[in-house]
Structure 1
Amino acid sequence: MAANAQDRRSAGPVGVGIVGGGFMATVHSRAARAARGRLVGVVSSRPERAVRAAEELGIENAFGSLHDLIADDRVEVVHVTTPNALHAEQALAVIEAGKHVVCEKPLATTVADARTLTDAAASAGVTATVPFVYRFHPLVREARARFASGETGRLLTIAGSYLQDWLLESGDDNWRVDSAAGGRSRAFGDIGSHLVDFIEFVTGDRVSMVAATKRTFFDSRAEHSAITTEDAVAVAVQTSGGAIGTLLVSQAAPGRKNRLHVELAGSAESVVFDQEQPETLWVGRRKGSLLIPRDADQLAPDAARLVTTPGGHPQGYQDAFNAFVADSYAAIAGEAPDGLPRFEDGLRAAAVAEAVMDSADTGTWVEV
């Protein structure tokens, strides 16, 4: 089993293992190092890839298998950064070994598997987190604080989008387009999950009903054919609190790289956050609208604690990821960081994605 909190506080840097050797492994390794983790080992799809990843990322050891990695007593937490279809099996193996786990989203490709992981982590008493890292932009926490304090009033409407262009053309390809590797949903499962998590985290309200339509613009790409996963999806939503809204998710929007944009209209004020311009938060009022900068002196305490550079020196995606991993390691040490996304949140995302896909397939409103 995992070490108790007192033991963890008195120990040295947390021992980190990474599963996977691609882009997300790079992001996780940077964040682990920033959080003063000891990068003990990495395992990849092939031994030679693990060796290369260890060299490139400055990790101490390349392991031949996941079994060997989690059997090493120096490894306390394992970051799972592999293709989606592998998450459930690999994360469960980590949990059953008594290790803490950070698992990339989607947590699993089915709700049943996500629930199995969530229950297993709770039973094992391990810290298990999933990187909904946009929660860790300081101005996202500022927006959340405004809703929690009642400044925004009652949530009325939602206008959200997450747009990318990396799969714009038929020659663009990736393992994610294959449902066997990525799961039933691609665009929504990959980035729409961030959008819904953002909305629910900031407002404290939950999406309760969805009506969706989806499109696959290319059923064949450079290395894949008979593609069924969606390139884009549009969703009408209702919330438990009575708000209504629309969501647009696309991986074929020219010029948009990672444009997560959300406008939340309350009865007293609106807030707008643009992930590609994360240094300001627009607060709209009938009289006297504001543009709030990422300046610790002007922010709520939970937002200010995430400010790591002076105003005018931008923070971005990697900074948010670093903060997420730092809070994950703090939880391993026995602390209780506010807003840390755990496996329960990964399970929630899986349930929303399933409802969206069911709605798109049936053409009806579906309850989440």
Structure 2
Amino acid sequence: MLEIRRQSAELRVGIVGSGFIGRVHARAVRQAGARLVGIAGVSVDRAVEGARNLGAEKAFESAEELIGSGLIDVLHVCTPNHLHAPIALKALDAGLAVVCEKPLATDAPTAALMAVHAQVTGAVAAVPFVYRFHPMIREARARLAGLGRVSLIQGGYLQDWLLESTDDNWRVDPKRGGPGRTIGDIGSHWFDLAEFVTGDRITKVCAQTSVVVADRVSSGPVLTEDLATVQFATASGALGSVAVSQVAPGRKNRLFLEISAASGSLAFDQENPEHLWLGGRAGSQALVRDPLTLSDAARPYSPLPAGHAQGFHDCFDAFVADTYAAIGGEHREGLPTFDDGSRAAHLTDVVLRSVKEGGWIAC
């Protein structure tokens, strides 16, 4: 077992990648009270620019230089997907804690290897499935435990940022983004949330995918799916369905999850995260996020008074804070680890197999 290098009480952080998600990570690092030591990018110029924009102390020529510097305790990997595995594995071998964006890898076997490697090294290795950190998701999880057997899990994750042929991104390229684009990018969040809230495992799936925008201006013919629909069953016998799309006009980031159980239902909509819908035979209500009335499980993730809206940044800040607490030896319930990242990669692989083979596939 490798010992994580800690030369001071102050947690020292490095980030590889300074795009949108790198900026989100950097903000959460500062919110957690850690020290942002260095940034590495695809070039020296990008690293210098990233260090300046993100408020880091130093710019590093490469991820390898940052990892081997001896100046950091934890590495955040915020690169295109195909670079996640080699960088994260090098960081684990160097005795660092790792926060790696999902998907962990562009294939399930490599993601599984990463999870095993994290266990062997004993390092804290976390994946930003940050929607777990909405207080109303924690409230849903706590309340669902008292509603009896779950019968139905349904929902979707809809976006429109790749709606036009002029909309393009490295994620469209399977060599950089992986073979399952919409499923791996946003479907992974939905599947993780469904299993986290219910505590139940998906055991078989039957899926369809579609390419809606056949050509994109900078990448040519599209080889990865724009949308997918998936039917599934769980270990407890619940049935489910989900639709994921990156070409749904007007939907910016709608992650929706509804669960029906024996004595009640509940639903969460990420575009309206201050409310949790609660349904029963006698009526329904919208529960407002209020730390004065939330459960013990949800209250720690609800630092603002009711009426002061919380959102994505707050979830990310809570995720990073819990990760750093785990690095310090504390247990934080629900922290998504490389095991969860490997699980997501496995489900992506199974869904793609179902599409290819045209039927139900066991997970």
TM-score category (smaller protein): over 0.9
Which segment drifts farther, 294-303 or 253-262? 294-303
Q: For residue 347 of structure 2, what is the aligned residue in structure 1?
A: 352
In structure 2, what is the equivalent of residue 22 of structure 1? 19
Secondary structure at the aligned position of 1:236 is classed as: strand
Q: 1:298-337 alignment to 2 at 5 Å? A: 298-337=293-332
Give the secondary-structure state (helix, strand or coil) at the position aligned to 1:168: coil
Q: Does 1:92 align with 2:95?
A: no
Q: What amino acid maps onto 2:95 in structure 1?
A: G
State the 1:2 CA deviation: 3.5
Is 1:245 matched up with 2:240?
Answer: yes
TM-score w.r.t. the length of structure 1 is: 0.97
Match of 1:215 among 207, 210, 215: 210
Q: Deviations 1:111-148 (Å, cap 9, x if unpaired)?
A: 11111111111111100000000000000000000123
**1:255 Cα deviation after fit:** 0.4
TM-score normalised to the size of structure 2?
A: 0.98
% of aligned pairs identical? 50
Do residues 227 (structure 1) and 222 (structure 2) align? yes
Aligned match of 2:336: 341
- Residue 289 of structure 2 is aligned to residue 294 of structure 1: yes
Native 8 Å contact 1:43 1:50 kept in 2: yes
Name the SS of the counterpart of 2:297 in structure 1. helix
Quick check: 1:175 aligned with 2:173? Answer: no
Determine if contact 1:2/1:76 at 8 Å carries over to the other structure.
no
Letter in structure 1 aligned against 2:346:
A
Deviation at 1:153, TM superposition (A): 1.4
SS in 1 for 2:283: coil
Q: Report what 1:70 is aligned to.
A: 67
The 4+ residue runs of structure 1 with deviation greater than 6 A are none
Q: CA deviation at 1:350?
A: 0.6
* Residue in 1 that maps onto 2:362: 367
8 Å CA contact retained: 1:2, 1:100: no
Asked if the contact 2:125–2:338 (Cα under 8 Å) also holds between the matched residues in 1, the reply is yes
Match of 1:102 in 2: 99
Cα distance per residue 1:200-248 (max 9 Å; x no partner): 0000111111000000112320111232100000001111110111100
Match of 1:190 among 180, 185, 189: 185
**Is the contact made by 2:4 and 2:97 (CA closer than 8 Å) also made in structure 1?**
no
Task: Tell me which residue corresponds to 1:111.
Answer: 108
Q: How does 1:39-188 map to 2 (within 5 A)?
A: 39-148=36-145, 150=146, 152-188=147-183
- Rounded Cα–Cα distance in structure 1 between residues aligned with 2:3 and 2:141: 33
Q: Secondary structure at the match of 2:251?
A: coil
Deviation at 1:287, TM superposition (A): 0.8
Give the length in aligned residue pairs: 362
Distance in structure 1 (CA, Å) of the matches to 2:297 and 2:99: 22
Q: What's the CA shift for 1:363? A: 0.8
What SS does the corresponding residue of 1:305 show, helix, strand or coil? helix
Distance, in Å, in 2 between the alignment partners of 1:127 and 1:265 is: 35
Residues 230-278 of structure 1 deviation map (CA, whole Å, 9 limit, x = unaligned): 0000001111110111100000000000000111011111000000100
Which 5+ residue runs of structure 2 have no aligned equivalent? Answer: none
**Structure 1 residues 262-319: Cα deviation after superposition (integer angstroms, max 9, x where no partner):** 1101111100000010001010001132211111121111200111111100000010
Secondary structure at 1:301 match in 2: coil
Deviates more, 1:101-110 or 1:152-161: 152-161
Provide, for residues 56-75 of structure 1, a one-character-per-residue CA deviation record: whole Å limited to 9, x for no partner: 11011000111211122220
Give, in angstroms, the shift of residue 37 of structure 1.
1.0
CA distance, structure 2, for counterparts of residue 106 and residue 67 of structure 1: 21
SS at structure 2 position matched to 1:361:
helix
* Amino acid aligned to 2:153: I
Q: Is the 8 A contact 1:200 1:207 kept in 2?
A: yes
**CA–CA distance in structure 1, aligned partners of residues 24 and 12 of structure 2:** 17
1:272 aligns with 2:267: yes
